[in-house]
Structure 1
Amino acid sequence: MSAADVIAAWNRPSARAAIHPTRGISEEAYQESGRAQAQALAADIPDGAKVMDFGCGDGRVAIPLRAMGYDVTGVDSSPRMLAALAERAPELPTFQSDGSDFGKHLGRRKMDAVCCLAVLIHHDYATGEQLVENLRAVVKKGGILALDWPISDNPSDGHGWIGVTTWSQKQQDAITERLGMERLGVDRPWPVYRAL
């Protein structure tokens, strides 16, 4: 699925209800899932770091990270999602981007860390690889990238906005080697890398 298709899907009014499986359980379960993921990210990201949450949606993870003392910038392609985040945390800095124009928003500024959860699964291989490259470009040397891009023994280029793209270990290794990313040996729900 192309980036434009994903952006259009997330901009629909119904997308906010579908943003995470726990939202179907309760709003509190949804918020708790964000706090739990923020705690998991904090295990790998240094205290007080400048963190970009790419695909931040309505701030489920960005808001708890900020409450933990991180200098968080929320980035999403959907103005509807960013408006929902602004309702909940108007002081949290954000900008709208599909991941292709970080330089326009950041200039030469680099982040200490980038998290990208439940985003790459919605994109086809070509778009996903380009996003990983663009995310790597905004992380300083030695910085952290937490990327939710699942590996499968039977990788599949997902179809449809709710489809899931999975990767082979060989695909990921080739991309991360080319981009100068070292996978850390940590047990998290997503791979964590150090920018070399």
Structure 2
Amino acid sequence: MTAADIIDAWDQADPAAIHPTRGIDEDAYWDSGRNQAALLGTVLPDGAKVVDFGCGDGRVAIPLRALGYDVTAADASQNMLDRLHQHDPGMPTLLNSGDGLYAVLGKKVDAVVALAVLIHHGYADCLDLLAELRQTVKLGGLLILDWPVSDDPVEGQVWLDVTTWSQEAHDDACKRIGLKPVEAHLPWGVYRAVKPATD
């Protein structure tokens, strides 16, 4: 499963089926985004420049912006960005799959948030994307990532499968890419952008 396959699958998915809370109702869906934005606000510096990568229709990006963060919503799906603009026409957006994200932005940011992205990528694609996201963040900035570790790691084979990593592979990737885990008690991993280890 490639990143392009995942993007195509999301584009074809019924908007009502892209998040579990949408099965409850639309208010629950948007409430879940506000709750996640509030959790992110416990670690993001006030007024931080943030890229919500894989922003989808803005469920988290829009409430983050409402909390006073300088948010750019990035997604590889124009359909998702169009849906976001229906809810927040003034939100800065960027159509991007991760390739050259820093070059397209033209500036480093304080933080990158990617909450429903890495779990759907295979190992090689995930490493490439992690390197791109890390390059986008200022030294000392934060990356908040859905990058799960498991005692029984598995690489997802279809678009909604979840890929998990061994602790050893995770730690090795952190050293090579320049990520230092931060204890934050969030449902996602929080990492400080540091200089990559040199062999």
Instruction: Report if TM-score (shorter chain) is over 0.5.
Output: yes
How far apart are 1:15 and its partner, in Å? 4.0
Name stretches of at least 5 consecutive residues in structure 1 with no aligned partner.
Answer: none
- Letter of the structure 2 residue corresponding to residue 82 of structure 1: L
Cα distance in 2 between the residues matched to 1:149 and 1:20: 18
Does the 8 A contact of 2:102 with 2:135 survive in 1? no
Any idea what the Cα deviations from partners look like across 1:3-43, whole Å, max 9, x if unmatched?
Answer: 1101111111x342222111111111111110111111111
Aligned to 1:66: 65
1:1-196 pair list within 5 angstroms: 1-12=1-12, 14-107=13-106, 109-196=107-194
Secondary structure at the counterpart of residue 72 of structure 2: strand
The 3 A distance-change label for structure 1 pair 127 and 15 is farther
- Identity among equivalent pairs (%): 55
After superposition, the C-alpha distances for 1:44-73 in whole angstroms (9 at most, x for unaligned) are 110000000000000000000000000000
For residues 29 and 21 of structure 1, the distance between their equivalents in structure 2, rounded to whole angstroms, comes to: 10
C-alpha contact (below 8 Å) 2:179/2:193 kept by paired residues:
yes
**Are the counterparts in 2 of residues 16 and 81 from structure 1 also a CA contact under 8 Å?**
no
Taking the aligned partners of 2:102 and 2:148, their CA distance within structure 1 comes to 27
Q: Give deviations 1:81-134, integer Å, cap 9, x for gaps.
A: 000001100110001111012144212x00100000011111111001111110
CA distance in 2, matches of 1:186, 1:29: 25
Q: How much has 1:147 moved relative to structure 2?
A: 0.4
CA contact (8 A) 1:52 1:113 kept: yes
1:139, 1:84 → 2: CA distance? 26
| 4+ residue runs over 4 A deviation | none
What's the secondary structure of 1:11's corresponding residue? helix
Secondary structure at the aligned position of 1:157 is classed as: coil
Maintained 8 Å contact 2:114/2:145 = yes
Pairwise CA RMSD: 1.0
- Once the two structures are TM-superposed, the CA of residue 159 in structure 1 deviates from its matched residue by 1.3
The 3 A distance-change label for structure 1 pair 182 and 104 is closer
Distance 2:164 2:92 in 1: 31
Aligned partner of 2:58: which letter? G
CA distance in 1, matches of 2:148, 2:74: 21
Contact map agreement 2:122 2:156 (CA 8 A) in 1: yes
Amino acid at match of 2:174: T
8 Å Cα contact 1:9-1:15 kept in structure 2: no
User: Unaligned 5+ residue runs, structure 2?
Assistant: 195-199
Q: Is the 8 A contact 2:50 2:109 kept in 1?
A: yes
Would you say the 8 A contact 1:49–1:71 is kept in 2? yes
> What count of residue pairs does the alignment treat as equivalent?
194
TM-score (norm. length: structure 1): 0.96
Letter in 1 for 2:79: R
